[in-house]
Amino acid sequence: MSSKIKVQGSKLPFVLVNMAMTADGKIATANHAVSSFGSARDRERLLQLRATADAVMTGARTVNSAPIILGPGPSRFRRLRLKNGLAEHNLRVIVSGSGLVNPRAEIFRHRFSPVIVLTTRRASPAKLHQLRAVADAVKICGKYNINLRAALGWLRRKWGVNRLLCEGGGELNAALFRAGLVAELHLTVCPKIFGGREAPTIAGGRGFRRLAEAAPLQIKSFKRIGDEIFAAFIVRRTK
């Protein structure tokens, strides 16, 4: 993408979700031991997408279960970000209602850009103290669950986040879909079956109960490369 990134005039960021899943829709094995299974090309596309976003966001379980740092990647992607009119490094956002984010998680060891933790009043004073020592900002956005609409509004106002890339996991994605906040879903379908009733999928949570509630998607692009399928969907507005 060579032109500057366009953003809409909303008070909320434009939210993209990007996930790699197996052919049976799993994003990790049931024991969470395997969660990275895409090809080098999938990784390349992930970094290209990050290069269009002001901030990258994930749920607490994703940060706690793998050594991820959510950075822009090699210098060519940082140059792409600058070309796209963005800061050289994306902001990083962690969502945790309980505040039970491991303060020793890999993400806090890499200080190239601010790490912001969104949490709720469920987080204990001790936990908040711990997180404030390692994160650049800790924002309480709700009593029990995070009010994602309010949180995203704050990210836009306070941190200038116009485009937000959510990279899972399924619990966080589901909450975003439920709140009607997702504009695009980017999916890589990888040639594997994980199985496992407990294995997370791209949208977990309680799920919708009626067909009429399901998030309606429209295909934006679709491509097979090697044995992977790269698809992008627009989430149609229902209201």
Ligand X SMILES: NC(=O)c1ccc[n+]([C@@H]2O[C@H](COP(=O)([O-])OP(=O)(O)OC[C@H]3O[C@@H](n4cnc5c(N)ncnc54)[C@H](OP(=O)(O)O)[C@@H]3O)[C@@H](O)[C@H]2O)c1
164 binds ligand X (CB under 6 A): no
- Alpha carbon 149 to its chain centroid, in Å, reads 15
Using the contact rule CB under 6 A, the part of the chain among 28-36, 69-77, 131-139, 225-233 near ligand X is 28-36
Nearer to ligand X, 82 or 225 (CB): 225
148 binds ligand X (CB under 6 A): yes
Nearer to ligand X, 82 or 133 (CB): 133
13 binds ligand X (CB under 6 A): no
CA torsion sign for 237, 222, 171, 59 is negative
- Run of H or E including 149: helix 148-159
Nearer to ligand X, 32 or 89 (CB): 32
Angle separating helix axes 40-50 and 75-83, nearest 10 degrees: 40
Neighbouring C-beta atoms of residue 134, cutoff 10 Å: 17
Using the contact rule CB under 6 A, the part of the chain among 1-9, 47-55, 96-104, 223-231 near ligand X is 96-104
20 binds ligand X (CB under 6 A): yes
* Min CB(4)–ligand X separation in Å: 28
Q: Are 103 and 129 in contact (CB under 8 A)?
A: no
Instruction: Name the residue with the smallest CB distance to ligand X.
Output: 169
Pairing type for strands 137-140 and 115-119 reads parallel
**Contact residue for ligand X among 17, 28, 56, 135 (CB under 6 A):** 28
Pairing type for strands 184-190 and 137-140 reads unpaired
Using the contact rule CB under 6 A, the part of the chain among 47-55, 154-162, 171-179, 208-216 near ligand X is 171-179
E strands along the chain, which residues?
Answer: 14-22, 55-59, 91-95, 115-119, 137-140, 163-166, 184-190, 217-225, 228-235
Using the contact rule CB under 6 A, the part of the chain among 76-84, 152-160, 161-169, 228-236 near ligand X is 161-169
- Alpha carbon 228 to its chain centroid, in Å, reads 21
Give the total of residues touching ligand X (CB under 6 A).
30
Cβ-proximal residues to 152 (8 Å cutoff; 6+ apart), any chain: 12, 13, 15, 161, 164, 181
**Contact residue for ligand X among 61, 78, 81, 127 (CB under 6 A):** 61
27 binds ligand X (CB under 6 A): yes
List contacts with ligand X (CB under 6 A): 19-20, 27-28, 32, 35, 58-62, 65-66, 95-98, 100, 145-146, 148, 167-172, 175, 200, 204
